[in-house]
Amino acid sequence: MIPMREPTYFVLAALLAGPLHGYAIIKRAEEMSGGRVRLATGTLYTALDRLTADGYIRLVSEEMVAGRMRRSYGLTDAGSAALRAEAQRMAEAARLVTGEETVPRPSRLGRKARTA
């Protein structure tokens, strides 16, 4: 599944912090992208079906709210791996043009030995 289109990428990215339902994914993607990425509903719901069929996300809950189903989806391990692989690919492609290097941001938790 390489490469991924932007809407698909943001659907997965929106789920990084935990499961969300459809409409919340649209809002989260918009927020993450600084307002730039606005998932159309037609894109979102077909993407949810496709990503579920591909095993990248899975339905984690179905609750009835105001007489309507609210379905929440979460990343699977495969989806998380695919998302990270895609981020890696984009970073490398971008580097070809920007001439910049990426350095790991120092995390104060679980600091590892710096591999210079």
Partner DNA sequence: TGACGACGTGTCGATCGTCTACTTATTATG
Partner DNA sequence: CATAATAAGTAGACGATCGACACGTCGTCA
**Site map 68..97 versus DNA, x via CB under 7 A:** xxxx--------------------------
Binding to DNA (CB under 7 A) within 21-60 occurs at: 21-24, 27, 39-43, 45-50
Contact status: 94 vs a second copy (CB under 8 A):
yes
The residue type found at 84 is R
Question: Across 2-95, where does the E strand assignment appear?
Answer: 20-21, 57-65, 68-75
Q: Which residues pair with 21 in a beta bridge?
A: 72
The residue type found at 51 is L
**Are the C-beta atoms of residues 10 and 39 closer than 8 Å to each other?**
yes
Binding to a second copy (CB under 8 A) within 8-67 occurs at: 9-10, 13, 16, 32-33
Least Cα distance to 87 among 34, 30, 9 occurs for 9
Contact status: 98 vs a second copy (CB under 8 A):
yes
Q: Which residues pair with 58 in a beta bridge?
A: 74
13 binds, among a second copy, DNA, none (CB under 5 to 8 A by kind): a second copy
Contact status: 97 vs a second copy (CB under 8 A):
yes
111 binds, among a second copy, DNA, none (CB under 5 to 8 A by kind): none
